[in-house]
Structure 1
């Protein structure tokens, strides 16, 4: 997502050996990636705490969303040398983001808790696969996706704008939902390769890079949960109709 604001000759030999092949990535960049993913995992734990806080105290809403944006702004405008402050801002962002999406989690817990587990596992596997593909691919191989993804984000914006003017539509909502999922899956690949490229050029700001991937992960998770809940609800309605007919 950061890029919105500011197969290859050797790709045919996929397998275990290709997954171990990090020769194109220097040791310093490998160390940087470890820090990024470790920080990302910490942010996801903090976000889960934010969801739990909403379930306990019903704090999620407009205020937490605005607080999340403020925390991001503070993080991006803080010097990279102030690591503790920036990490604190990242964790605050994660907690506030978790509280903001807390109502969705609360609804799913009441509707079918199994969706949360399945959705999180599915998102984690998708993230690992797409991000791993970007790591083992040739450098800059997927950076061309940036233009397409930015265009997709613009399309989503105009679709949402049109729905406000002409009223909501189920067809437009479904199209926006699935298109958004595809776009943010693409951003996982794009952002991972951009992080690697920036690290090769000396940008080792792992906090900001973890924020970028955290944003992608949450965007994918929310859409997967909505899709699963929607499909589960439709199945239950069809089953209830069949029971009434019988």
Structure 2
């Protein structure tokens, strides 16, 4: 083959790959696309309610164990409410997000007192990660990432046992392992849950409220880990600076 023609065929193959990806996205039916719009719109409002909850903690200092238990209770009630009571389920989603924001309020307040830019960077970074990996799941072939479900569940079980062991024996190494491993696991859940939602919608499950709750949990889990990692790294840098001055 002529070298010139072979070099010309390479960009054509890359462009065909892009077209194939776009075709995969077009395979999502209009009904599923509309469902995804409702899911992501509900997710945006849930994140806004969570921000309001964090602000309420900053004002009144009400976040703690009780609000965490209340959050879990509201999420359980949401899943128990029948699908035809849509307004109640949406209200329960917003209440769950609000209480979740109150529960993570102490960490948000700590980040604001330490360096407000860390909080902004962590949120923007989480949003970018979420958009990229959710987009990758949408452009991928159907069911391509559903195999991750069992693997991610196993990873969560390992992290729980590691957390239990670290609470007994202590150690900063296990904390770092849990932070970074947990971050990778929940980023994987972003991909898996997005594709799982799309597949369920294709099969007729259009429960956008519970699907938005699933993505909300993933978003908050990744956000908290990024925030803690950034705070920890900033604190370590401050300690090193103090040692150099001394």
TM-score by length of 2: 0.91
Seen in structure 2, the aligned counterparts of structure 1 residues 14 and 214 have a Cα distance that, compared at 3 Å, is farther
Task: For residue 87 of structure 1, report the CA deviation from its aligned partner.
Answer: 0.3
Contact 1:185 1:220 (8 Å CA) reproduced: yes
User: Please, which of 35, 52, 55 is the counterpart of residue 32 of structure 1?
Assistant: 35
Moved over 3 A (4+): 10-21
Which aligned pairs between 1:163-202 and structure 2 lie closer than 5 A?
A: 163-166=166-169, 168-202=170-204
Q: CA separation in 1, counterparts of 2:123 and 2:236?
A: 21
Say which structure, 1 or 2, has more relative contact order (CA 8 Å, 6+ apart).
Answer: 1
Q: Deviations over 1:44-76 (max 9, x none)?
A: 000000000000001100111111011011100
Q: Deviations over 1:86-135 (max 9, x none)?
A: 00000000000000000000001000110001000000000000001001
Q: Which residue of 1 aligns with 2:141?
A: 138
Seen in structure 2, the aligned counterparts of structure 1 residues 15 and 224 have a Cα distance that, compared at 3 Å, is farther
Matched position secondary structure for 1:22: helix
Task: For residue 16 of structure 1, report the CA deviation from its aligned partner.
Answer: 8.2
Contact 2:137 2:191 (8 Å CA) reproduced: yes
Q: CA separation in 1, counterparts of 2:57 and 2:167?
A: 28
Q: CA separation in 2, counterparts of 1:20 and 1:33?
A: 18
Please say if 1:47 is aligned against 2:50: yes
Q: Which residue of 2 aligns with 1:7?
A: none
Q: Structure 2: any 5+ residue segments left out of the alignment?
A: 1-12
Q: Which residue of 2 aligns with 1:237?
A: 239
Q: Deviations over 1:109-167 (max 9, x none)?
A: 0001100010000000000000010011100000000111000000011011112333x
Matched position secondary structure for 1:59: coil
Please say if 1:63 is aligned against 2:66: yes
Task: For residue 187 of structure 1, report the CA deviation from its aligned partner.
Answer: 0.1
User: Please, which of 97, 100, 108 is the counterpart of residue 97 of structure 1?
Assistant: 100
Q: CA separation in 1, counterparts of 2:44 and 2:24?
A: 24
Q: CA separation in 2, counterparts of 1:87 and 1:214?
A: 13
Q: CA separation in 1, counterparts of 2:23 and 2:182?
A: 32
Q: Which one is further off, 54-63 or 11-20? A: 11-20
Q: CA separation in 1, counterparts of 2:147 and 2:239?
A: 43
Count how many residue pairs are aligned between Structure 1 and Structure 2.
234
Q: Which residue of 2 aligns with 1:5?
A: none
Task: For residue 241 of structure 1, report the CA deviation from its aligned partner.
Answer: 1.8
Task: For residue 82 of structure 1, report the CA deviation from its aligned partner.
Answer: 0.5
Q: CA separation in 2, counterparts of 1:37 and 1:70?
A: 23
Greater helix proportion: 2
Q: Structure 1: any 5+ residue segments left out of the alignment?
A: 1-9
Matched position secondary structure for 1:18: helix
Q: Which residue of 2 aligns with 1:128?
A: 131
Q: CA separation in 1, counterparts of 2:56 and 2:98?
A: 9
Please say if 1:215 is aligned against 2:198: no
